[in-house]
Amino acid sequence: MHLFFTPDLTPSSTSYTLSEEESKHCVRVLRLNQGDAVTLIDGRGGWYEAEIAEPNPKKTRLNILKHTQDPFQRAYKIHVAVAPTKNIDRIEWFVEKAVETGIDEITFLQCARSERKAVNMDRIEKIAVSAMKQSMKAQLPTLHPLTRYTDFLAQPQEGQKFIAHLVEGLERHSLARSVSGPETYTILIGPEGDFNPEEVAQALQAGYQPVTLGQSRLRTETAALAACHTIHVMLDV
């Protein structure tokens, strides 16, 4: 199956022109020709069957034949808010694997102990799109740029809210045992130095439940992915 990302495609469309990047991949890399079948995804759960009408490395035109909505959408949603790591490759790895596993929303947090002050969101989106196509999904998660921790806590979040931290002397519960059913889950994951005690207190005051991801001390990106995967394991039954 030849899969292309077409974010501005709508169910009523009868034709579509691929972006220059996707056109080049279609014609120069895959060497597809007029009449060849392709599959399109809009990042909102829509699948489209199409055929190539006019192959062109800069603007390939397609005829849309059929539209269907993803029948495998989950009954629950996962939002991971994570402080990006100093080594950006590690947080990019998390984005790739989280999209492959299944995630609905990612927010990057600016915390007191954060060492990274900026995130290239264009690159993050490209990684997410590539992972979506690789894993044969039609849903692209919502991606939020770097947000101040206190500003994020002030935003309303639906469903259950958790903070995974390592501050000693504070009670924590297993995330796996805290997942109660199909709804929206928001999980806060701190930077390499973890949240500071004040940040944990602020989260608890905002209604976040303190959780643990197990006995091991995990890297930031591992913890973020483990939180995502834990919810899948508990609910994909």
Same domain flag for 115 and 217: yes
13 & 37 share domain: yes
Q: Which of 69, 86, 116 is a domain's end point? A: 69
Sheet holding 173-174, edge to edge: 142-148, 105-110, 77-82, 184-189, 160-164, 209-212, 173-174
- Structure confidence at residue 171 (pLDDT): 85
Apex 83 CA angle, 195 and 136, nearest 5: 135
Are 174 and 225 part of one and the same domain? yes
**In this structure, is the dihedral angle defined by the CA atoms of residues 35, 37, 38 and 42, taken in order, positive or negative?**
positive
Regarding whether 164 and 101 lie in a shared domain, the answer is: yes
Same domain, 10 and 115: no
Are residues 81 and 64 both part of a single domain? no
Separation CA 55–CA 194 (nearest Å): 51
Looking at the 3D structure of the chain, how many domains does it have?
A: 2
Q: pLDDT truncated to tens, each residue of the chain (237 aa)?
A: 899 999 999 999 999 999 999 999 999 999 999 999 999 999 999 999 999 999 999 999 999 999 999 877 889 999 999 999 999 999 999 999 999 999 999 999 999 999 999 999 999 999 999 999 999 999 999 999 999 999 999 999 999 999 999 888 788 999 999 998 899 999 999 999 999 999 999 999 999 999 999 888 899 999 999 999 999 999 985
Examine the domain organization and report whether 118 and 152 are in the same domain: yes
Same domain? For 157 and 61 the reply is no
Q: Which two tokens stand for residue 218?
A: 């995990």
Give start and end residues of each alpha helix (H) in the chain. Answer: 20-24, 88-101, 121-134, 149-154, 175-178, 197-205, 220-235
Which of 40, 69, 98 delimits the end of a domain? Answer: 69
Where residue 123 sits, what CATH number does that domain have?
3.40.1280.10
> Last residue of some domain: 69, 86, 113?
69
Question: Is there a single domain that holds both residue 161 and residue 208?
Answer: yes
Range of the domain at 48: 3-69
Write the single-letter amino acid at 52. Answer: I
User: Within this chain, do residues 61 and 114 fall inside the same structural domain, yes or no?
Assistant: no
The total number of residues shown for the chain amounts to: 237
Output the six-digit token pair for 189: 């994951």
- Considering the domain architecture, whether residues 110 and 84 belong to the same structural domain is answered as yes
From the list 111, 134, 135, 108, the residue with the least C-alpha distance to 121 is 108
Are 171 and 84 in a shared domain? yes
pTM for the predicted model, two decimal places:
0.93
